[in-house]
Chains A and B, each alone.
Chain A
Amino acid sequence: MSFDWGVIADNWKFLIVQGFLGFGAFGGGTLRLAIPAIVLGFFLGILIGVCRLSNRPWVHYPAVVYVEFFRGVPLVMVIFWFWFLIPQITGQRLPEYAVALTAFVVFEAAYLGEIVRAGIQSVPRGQIEAATAGGLTYPQMMVHVILPQAIRNMIPSLVTQFIVLFKDTSLASIIGMMDLTKAAQTVSQREIRPFEMFLFIAVVYWLCTYSMSRLSRRLEARMTPERAPTKRAALRAATRAAA
């Protein structure tokens, strides 16, 4: 048993620039897939979460079925569905990147929708009554009063889900999209150094997800000063009071 870590130094450009960032002849890329998937999935998730809370049955039940269906099926299955369905519907083969992005947005929106629903439900009822009394329409109330407060409550679970989504992007390699995992597979087949290769990308993924969770903790502390005052904020408040 001997290790050859030089294999990482030799291939880092392909792994990071092509596989992780997505710049190169193969397209794809872990980050180039993850960022739009998170943004679009979040917006679809808001829509589904709001629909699920609607009083109208023809809005409410489709959202319930959507969430329950996608939460009961493995993501791999959903990716294969889109891999098969998109060419059938559009009549042409789309690049793997487009298929993967669609599958991720549709799938993750089910989970994000549940988080949005819980977040909205955590906003005190009085806020709705006050907004209605103030003469706001339902969409105005949602956009200007409820959602801003709900999103603040959702941040911890939201970031957890974003981390899950980020890790899930590795599944795009199954349909052949060139992401970090696929790049590592390609290199390890050529160099026959799977142990070093996969441990290396494990560390790369870990660095990203761990810094995301650290960032969320800081964000949370900053956005909820009245609940969890940081030392510095408390100090600032005290100085202001003294002056």
Chain B
Amino acid sequence: MPLFGFFGIQYDFQWSVLWTGERGQWLVQGILTTVRLSLISWLIASTLGIVSGALRTVPWKPLRLLAAAYVEFFRNVPLLVWLFFWYFGVPQVLPRAGQDWLNHHGPEFWSAVAGLSVYHGARMSEVIRAGIQSIPKTLLEASVATGLSVFQAYRLIVVPIALRLIVPPATNESLNLLKNSSLALTIGVAELTFMTRQIETYTAKAFEALTAGTLIYLALCLGIASIMGRVEQRFRIPGLIARAGRAEH
């Protein structure tokens, strides 16, 4: 390693620690847990995001305020705090049956799912809202004029079009969810970062373990981004240049 030589550091590289013994399995299990955690959370977050994002644009104020309260409160507090809240705090107030269910199904994993979905649902909601607001209001009016109810108009016309407009920012947000799933290590979910740390603890080979974890995250992110690039092409609405508001980070 030229970098290490430059700084005059003695470090004995042993890349084999990544696959010898049960460590290779650890990494694979870590990847699988990260993917499963992200996928389940992504499905719930998208549902929450679509519903609350649409509610923020409906012509009825109480619903708009309710959705706004959800979004503004959950997305403005650190995810880590939410994870601790769901994992340590919520079981304390759950009824007996709920606590039993959690203890049988792995409280760490499902608390992480709850934390990630509710937090990212609020963030996704902003993306969806921007998408819906970029559609001219006359579309909703025209749909209602043809005899659809407001609910039908949203379900059949407005939301499908908005979803096609927001593929790039929604991809960005989905990748954030994948990267943020690494925070689940703090409540003991054995996902990729957790396994990386575990290899480091068992072998004292931090450089190799961190490199493996970093490259896997990079590969996952770049892979998903390129797939979504194709999806964007496939679902692009012909004749439109403008895209809905992009979300940062």
Q: Which residues of A contact B (CB under 8 A)?
A: 1, 69, 71-77, 80-81, 84, 88-89, 111, 115, 157, 160-161, 163-164, 167-171, 173-174, 181, 184-185, 188, 194-199, 201-202, 205-206, 209-210, 213
What is the number of contacts between chain A and chain B, taking CB atoms within 8 Å? 118
Q: Is the interface of A mostly helix, strand, loop or mixed?
A: helix
B76/A73 in contact, CB under 8 A? no
Question: In the bound complex, what is the Cα–Cα distance between A69 and B213 (angstroms)?
Answer: 13
Q: How far, in whole Å, are A198 and B9 apart by their CA atoms in the complex?
A: 42
CB proximity of A156 to chain B, nearest CB, Å: 10
Set A72, A75, A157, A181: member contacting B221, Cβ < 8 A: A72
A185 to B85, CA, bound (A): 10
Determine if A77 and B182 form an interchain contact, defined as CB atoms under 8 angstroms apart. yes
Within 8 A of A (CB), among B212-249: 213-214, 217-218, 221-222, 248-249
Q: Is the interface of B mostly helix, strand, loop or mixed?
A: helix
Residues of B within 8 A of A (CB): 4, 7, 9, 11, 72-73, 76-82, 84-85, 88-90, 92-93, 179-180, 182-183, 185-186, 193, 196-197, 200, 206-207, 210, 213-214, 217-218, 221-222, 248-249
CB contacts (< 8 Å) of A198 on chain B: these are 81, 84-85, 88-89
New contact pairs (9) apart from A73-B217, A84-B206, A170-B80, CB-CB < 8 Å: A71-B221, A74-B180, A77-B214, A80-B193, A164-B249, A195-B90, A198-B84, A198-B89, A205-B81
Chain B residues, Cβ within 8 Å of A174? 80, 186
* In the complex, chain B residues whose CB is within 8 Å of the CB of A205: 76-78, 81
Cα distance, A160 to B245, chains bound together (Å): 13
CB contacts (< 8 Å) of B93 on chain A: these are 1, 195
Distance to closest chain A CB from B109 (angstroms): 18
Residues of A within 8 A of B210 (CB): 77, 80-81, 84
Which of A76, A81, A184, A196 has most chain B Cβ within 10 Å? A76
What are 11 A-B pairs with beta-carbon distances under 8 A? A72-B217, A77-B210, A77-B214, A88-B7, A111-B249, A181-B80, A181-B84, A184-B81, A188-B88, A205-B77, A206-B73
